Amino acid sequence: MYFLKFAETKQLFEIFNKNNIEARFVGGCVRDALCGIATNDFDIAVDCEVNKLRTILEKAQVNIIKIDIKYFSVTVIINNRKFEITSLRKDTKCDGRQCCVSRISDFEQDAMRRDFTINALYVDQFGQLFDYFDGQKDLENNTIRFIGEPYERIKEDYLRIFRYYRFCAKYGDLSNKYTDVIKSLSHNVSKLPIERVQSELINILHYKNNVQIIKSMIKDNVIKANIDLYERMVNIYPNSKTALKLYILFSKDSLFNIFKLPKRYKLIIKEYLKYENEPLIYVAYKTSLEIQQDIIVIKHLKHNEPITHVIKKEFLAFPITYKDICDTIPHPGKLLKDCERWWILNDFIPSKDECLTYIKTQFSKKVTHF
């Protein structure tokens, strides 16, 4: 396990050993290391009460950046490397969104509260692997298997439905062994914080077999999405960015009224909405190369327009500005935009005088109308 060789790991375990604290790395970092995948997500389970742990770490002058007493967790940073250190615990009362936990001193019992066998793998400072539920074998066979009774484990935390699909996407397990269980509980996903749900969905979209996974999610009544358009897009544009995938998969209402997307996604999606129905020459002039590429795909998928080559920006500058007309026409902003559009759609040919004439004519029509 490569992370056992970190100087920061050795520093932490020196502290644990000095204070007679048994500690083991657990979960994703162990799972990924067994698969030869590097990660920056390091979780350590310790047999130590959280307040005592905090005191010990503070005394050792370890930089603590977060303390979650409710879940017995302390997050530290050493030399820009982050570790989340959590006391052994078991779940008590669960409502499908969160659980109350109680302190324990048994690693196997701590493993029993974890969702999947491949996430209940522990390794100590000497590299000894502790595998209580044959998680390593499941990992080798690309098998995603719940620990314990699937129905009960999902009822504890409905986000496990999405986590199940994410791990299926990551490891290629497309079996239907939990379909009936998931279908029977799928109506409960509406109780989950949308931020957690969309985070899982976005992660799923990054994997190569995401189309098959999304189809399963739709079939199991977990999400509603436009899979036909999406599958076509993946076939012609497999490296599309996340914002485009979301735009094709989900409705405008879902993206803006249900999801709580990061600002960077919203800005891109608003560009799609703004330019989807515009002529490509106008899109090319007004947007970035990346947006133009995406709009070409959107037009092909949603409006049956042929895939065309990207139009490079080698255009003249719009020949008039706000200052050219503000003295004669009040509030000319919209007219200026209309004229620019007219100029673009006429292949950038109209001169400055012709553009001014166009604006005056449009303004006259507006005045006459009122």
pLDDT band at 273 (very low <50, low <70, confident <90, very high): very high
pLDDT band at 84 (very low <50, low <70, confident <90, very high): very high
Query: Is 362 inside a domain boundary?
Result: yes
Tell me the CA distances in angstroms from 199 to 29, 41, 194, 294, one per residue in order: 19, 16, 8, 22
Structure confidence at residue 281 (pLDDT): 93
Compute the average pLDDT of residues 268-275: 96
Amino acid at 288: S
Query: Is 121 inside a domain boundary?
Result: yes
Cβ(79)–Cβ(174) below 8 Å = no
CATH number of the domain where residue 97 is located: 3.30.460.10
pLDDT band at 370 (very low <50, low <70, confident <90, very high): very low
Token pair 């389970």 is found at 45
pLDDT > 90 fraction of the chain, expressed in percent and rounded:
77
Cβ(281)–Cβ(269) below 8 Å = no
**CA separation for the pair 368, 370 (Å, rounded):** 5
pLDDT band at 367 (very low <50, low <70, confident <90, very high): low
Query: Is 91 inside a domain boundary?
Result: yes
Q: 110, 145, 180: which is the final residue of a domain?
A: 145
Query: Is 238 inside a domain boundary?
Result: no
Element (H, E) at 120: none
Q: 99, 114, 145: which is the final residue of a domain?
A: 145
Compute the average pLDDT of residues 198-217: 93
Structure confidence at residue 313 (pLDDT): 80
Token pair 């056992």 is found at 4
Compute the average pLDDT of residues 152-175: 91
The residues facing 211 across adjacent strands are none
Query: Is 133 inside a domain boundary?
Result: yes
Structure confidence at residue 239 (pLDDT): 85
**CA separation for the pair 42, 26 (Å, rounded):** 8
Query: Is 234 inside a domain boundary?
Result: no
Query: Residue 85's domain spans which residues?
Result: 1-145
- Which two tokens mark 298? 């959107």
For the segment 22-44, what is each residue's pLDDT rounded down to a tens digit?
Answer: 999 999 999 999 999 888 889 99
Phi-psi region of 172 (alpha: psi -120 to 50; beta: other; left: phi over 0): left
Cβ(70)–Cβ(82) below 8 Å = no
The residues, any chain, with a CB within 8 Å of residue 95's CB and separated by 6 or more, are none
- Which two tokens mark 261? 């997307």
pTM listed for this prediction? 0.86
Token pair 């595998």 is found at 131
For the segment 174-188, what is each residue's pLDDT rounded down to a tens digit?
Answer: 778 899 999 999 999
Q: 96, 123, 145: which is the final residue of a domain?
A: 145
Query: Is 10 inside a domain boundary?
Result: yes
Cβ(73)–Cβ(89) below 8 Å = no
Q: Alpha-carbon Rg of the chain, whole angstroms?
A: 28
Element (H, E) at 14: helix 7-18
- Which two tokens mark 346? 């006429």
The residues facing 63 across adjacent strands are 77
Per DSSP, the residues of 260-278 read: ---HHHHHHHHHHHHHTTS
Query: Is 89 inside a domain boundary?
Result: yes
Domain count, the chain: 2
pLDDT band at 155 (very low <50, low <70, confident <90, very high): very high
Tell me the CA distances in angstroms from 330 to 88, 260, 339, one per residue in order: 70, 39, 15
